[in-house]
Structure formats: structure tokens, C-alpha cells
Chain A
Amino acid sequence: MDPLLKLLTMRARESVDDLAALLDEKPEAIRARMADYERRGVIRGYRAVLDEDTAAEDKVVAIIEVKVTPEREGGFDHIASRVCRFPEVASAYLVSGQADLLLFIEGPDLRTVARFVSEKLSVIPGVTATATSFMLKTYKSHGFLMDPPDEHERLAVSP
């Protein structure tokens, strides 16, 4: 992977000059590559990683495993794209194992999410079963531990 992409996944808010300094490149080169990645959709966006338990009290997340009957033409993709267009669906993956699709659904409360599953998701032709789990607590998200950082007595100067 391009070191620029790797760095952006960790420190997207660095200025172009600082990205260039960290990667020992010219700012113009960085600016051009970022524009190219954005244009081609390799980079889809930049966002903050929140401790959602603290930051978003009025939000519930459900993980839904969905079994579907693949269609003769289009396989899983057609149904998946129909599912994904609902704004309630935050992420969606095709997975191996018992279920076929794994969805992360977001809503303001349990009832809204439950209603979405029963009234919108389950009734899509081809969806044969769903299993819903509600997220209770976040321990780690996008590589970030949600625990407070460990405190150490680190020497301020050492050889």
C-alpha cells in the first residue's frame, strides 16, 4: 500500500506540508496523489473516530446477519445494493459462514431499529432470515482502544 494511504488512515488531519515532511516527499507530489485517490474513489472520505459510548448517547447500533437466496443473475450483489441504499445501514459486508450479509444498522433507539428490520429488511424478496444483535459497549473501534491510556512513569531523559 502507498505509504501516503497508510499514513492518512492514521493521521488524516495532517497538513499537506506535514504529510510531505513525514514521508520525505514534496508537498506538490502529496497534493497530486491525494487528489488522484479522491477522484478515483480510493479515498472515500475522512472522518473522526469517536468513542461513541460517550459522544453519541442517542444512538443504537445493531449487527444483523442476513441470509439471502442469491439470484440467478447478479448473485448477492443485487440484493445487497438494495439493502445498502437504506440510510440506516452504516456498513454492509458479504461474509462466509452461516449468514451471507453482515450489516451494521444505526438508529436513534431500539424500537426504530427493530422496526427497520421487520418492516424494511425482512420483506425484501430473497431475504430468508435475519438475526439481530444489539451493540452494548465499545472496547475498540477502528484500531483505537476505548480504555483510558495506561499511565507510566517514563524517564524524561535516558541514555
Chain B
Amino acid sequence: MSTNGLPSAPDRIALHVRDIPRSGIRDFFDIVSTMRDVISLGIGEPDFDTPWRVREASIFALERGATHYTSNLGLLKLRRAICEYVARAYGTAYRADDECLVAVGVSEAMDLAVRALINPGDEVLYHEPCYVSYAPLVRLAHGVPVPVPLSGATGFRLTREALERRVTPRTKMLILNFPNNPTGAGLDRADVEAIAAFAIEHDLIVLSDEIYAELTYTGRHVSITTVPGMRGRTVFLHGFSKAWAMTGYRLGYACAPAPLIDAMMRIHQYTMLCAPILSQEAAVEALKGPEADVALMREEYDRRRNYLVRAFADMGLPVSEPRGAFYVFPSIAGLGLTSMDFALRLLEEERVAAVPGTAFGASGEGHIRCSYATATDDIKEASVRIRRFVERLRAR
């Protein structure tokens, strides 16, 4: 018995929640937050403020009294703007009435899709290293997460062969994320078509997290929804956090065939009711306004990406060129430290925070994630410090 008379808390926690590990990012954050004068390359959100036109539109909406619930699916004018945008930018048409749901971030949209589709014991494939939420969301839905490990040697590209090795008759779903957090990897049309053929042959539903699509620097982003036969079995997930620098607005969306959206809506209506109206109003402006501000941010990220890639190459650390998002994922495998030890010592000795690759799954071992959503001057100083650290390690 604990002091307040309740049985000890761990016993009260549901089994499938007890098994969920704390995010490796959180552990690392706890250490970093005790230190001063740290340059952080550990940040997974834009360092830019939301474009002023979007913030100004939020203020205007608030003045006009936009403080109520919206329809469960989200404001119709926003869903229309989203469907127009997705068709224009990525080439797949969805109906605003019943094929689009506005959620509290891609985070919620992803959770809804997994819960709406997974029965206990269903297996879900996802490539690793990957964003931290996929496996926990699958577990919370009583599904079985099945990682498909990718390797830096192949630029972290997902191939059909890698998928075939992990698929079983119980596999129901495949989660994709390109451009990728944490590797920056992207896919070209041939890659996407091979993955689509795999999904069709094994009759899988695909959740495609394309939140970094606009932040593509090499080639063009290809959405898997554009491959013939895929629109009907794909939940397209996107949001405003990254390209529009709107993380705090907490707004994302899913586009999918009506029966899937309806199933997701039935959960969303009870757990969330609707996404915040102010964020929805702001998102309408984000989509309808000029895209010059998004382009300026992309250009700035691209320059920092160039700088960091060259810096790591100059240090002699193998790095595959990130095609999108805002992360570089160099290999530190040759330096005799695990990624966790490397990150901890880099933090202690040089006051630079980079996230150990293992925070994104076991196959992230041997890498660190460096975010370039950080001011150029900080990136330059961090590069100097990392180089000094690496040279010290080599001199031992």
C-alpha cells in the first residue's frame, strides 16, 4: 500500500500501457534540460515562427468569435482547402465531404487510423529507424508492431526485399514515412511503385505519414497514393507542423476512402470531438495564402542541410544525403562508442545535443540524429565542436 491508501500504482496501470517504454527522446531531454549553454541539434520542430499571415488570421478569427466546436470532421472550408491542396501538390483527389478528417496533429490522425483498422494480434510493418510513435500506437491498439530494419549502407531506402522478409499471413498494415524522420531518406517513383506492388500483393492497408513532403530538397516528393491501385488502400496523413512551422497549433489530417474516414471519425467524435477551431481557421490561411513563406523556409533548410552534410563528410563520418525533412543521420559506428555513449559524451564534453539513433529503434544504432531546424550560426558552431570531439576520439 502506498501512503495515500491506494494499492501501489504500477499494479493499477493497464498491462498494455505498462509495457510501453518511455520515449528515448524523453530520457535524453531530461539530461539535456539540466545543462546550460547547450547547442541543440536535437529539435524535431521548425525553429521558424509560424508565418505572420497565419498568426494574423488566427487573431482575426478569435476577434470574430471563432471559439466553438466544429463538425467532427473539421470545418468544411478547411477540408475543401486541404483536398484542393493535396490534389494540386501531390496529385490525388479526395472528396472534402467524406474522404477527409481534420485531427489534432498527424499524431492523432495516425492513432485513429491504427485503432480503426487493427484487431488484436494483427501485425503492422513499419520501417526502422523511424518516428517514435508508431510502435507504441500499434501496441495501444493491441496490435503487434513488426519493424523492418533499414541500413545506412543503402541510404535507408525501403526495398521490397526488406519488406518480404518480415511479412506474414497476419500482416494487415504497413506504415510508411518519407521523407523520413530521423534519416531524411526519400523515395523516388520506382521505390514507391515497388512498395505499392508489395502492399497490393499482400493485401495491406498503408498508412503513409507524408508530414515532411514539402521539405523535399532532391527530386520531387512522390506520394504512394498516386500509384494505381493504392488510393483505395492508403490513409494519407499530413499536417501543418513542419512546412508551415505550426507545431503548437496541433493540426493534421487524414485523407482516405470514405469507409476508412468514417471509422476513424467514430473514434475521433468521442475522444476528441473536433480539432481546435482556431487552429482550423489558421490552417485555411496556411493553405490558401501565398506559398512564398514556405519556400523561404525550405531554401533556408536546404542551405543548412548542405552545410551539415559537407561538415560530416569533412570529418570523415559516413553520411547518406538526406533528401527531405530536416535531419542528418551520420554514422558514428567507426568511433568505438554506442550512439547513446557518443551522444552523452558529446553533450558533456562539447555541449552539443544530438539524439542517439537508438531513440528511433534498434537499427538506429551507430548513428546520431542532427536536426538542422536550428539557426545557421549554431549549426556552424556545433560542427566545429563535433569535429573537435571526433578528432579526440580518433586520437585515443
A interface list, Cβ under 8 A from B: 3, 6-7, 11, 18, 21-24, 150, 154-159
Task: Flag whether B44 is at the interface (Cβ < 8 A).
Answer: yes
- Minimum CB–CB distance from A149 to chain B (whole Å) comes to 10
Instruction: Knowing A3-B299, A18-B380, A150-B49 are in contact, say whether A156-B38 is a contact too (CB < 8 A).
Output: yes
Q: Which of B23-31, B249-257, B260-268 contacts A (4 or more CB under 8 A)?
A: B23-31
Select from chain B the residue with minimum beta-carbon distance to A15.
B380
A18, A24, A157: most-surrounded residue (chain B CB, <10 A): A157
Task: Flag whether B355 is at the interface (Cβ < 8 A).
Answer: yes
Task: Flag whether B242 is at the interface (Cβ < 8 A).
Answer: no
B interface list, Cβ under 8 A from A: 23, 25, 28-29, 32-33, 38, 40, 42-45, 47, 49, 131-133, 181, 299, 303-304, 306-307, 309-311, 353, 355, 359, 376, 380
**Do residues B306 and A23 form an inter-chain contact, with CB atoms below 8 A?**
yes
A135 to B281 Cα, complex, angstroms: 37
Nearest 5 A-B pairs (CB), nearest first?
A157-B42, A24-B306, A157-B29, A22-B303, A158-B44
Could you tell me the dominant secondary structure of chain A's interface residues? loop
A152 to B46 Cα, complex, angstroms: 13
A157 to B44 Cα, complex, angstroms: 7
- Minimum CB–CB distance from B212 to chain A (whole Å) comes to 13
**Do residues B306 and A156 form an inter-chain contact, with CB atoms below 8 A?**
no
Select from chain A the residue with minimum beta-carbon distance to B38.
A156
Q: List 9 A-B contacts (CB under 8 A).
A: A6-B299, A18-B307, A22-B303, A155-B43, A156-B33, A157-B25, A158-B29, A159-B44, A159-B359
A24 to B313 Cα, complex, angstroms: 12
**Do residues B311 and A21 form an inter-chain contact, with CB atoms below 8 A?**
yes
A159 to B309 Cα, complex, angstroms: 21
**Do residues B32 and A159 form an inter-chain contact, with CB atoms below 8 A?**
no
Select from chain A the residue with minimum beta-carbon distance to B31.
A157
Select from chain A the residue with minimum beta-carbon distance to B182.
A159
A-B contact sample (17 more), CB < 8 A, given A156-B38, A156-B40: A3-B299, A18-B380, A21-B306, A22-B303, A22-B304, A23-B303, A23-B306, A24-B306, A24-B309, A24-B310, A154-B45, A156-B42, A157-B42, A158-B25, A158-B44, A159-B25, A159-B359
- Minimum CB–CB distance from A16 to chain B (whole Å) comes to 14
**Do residues B299 and A157 form an inter-chain contact, with CB atoms below 8 A?**
no
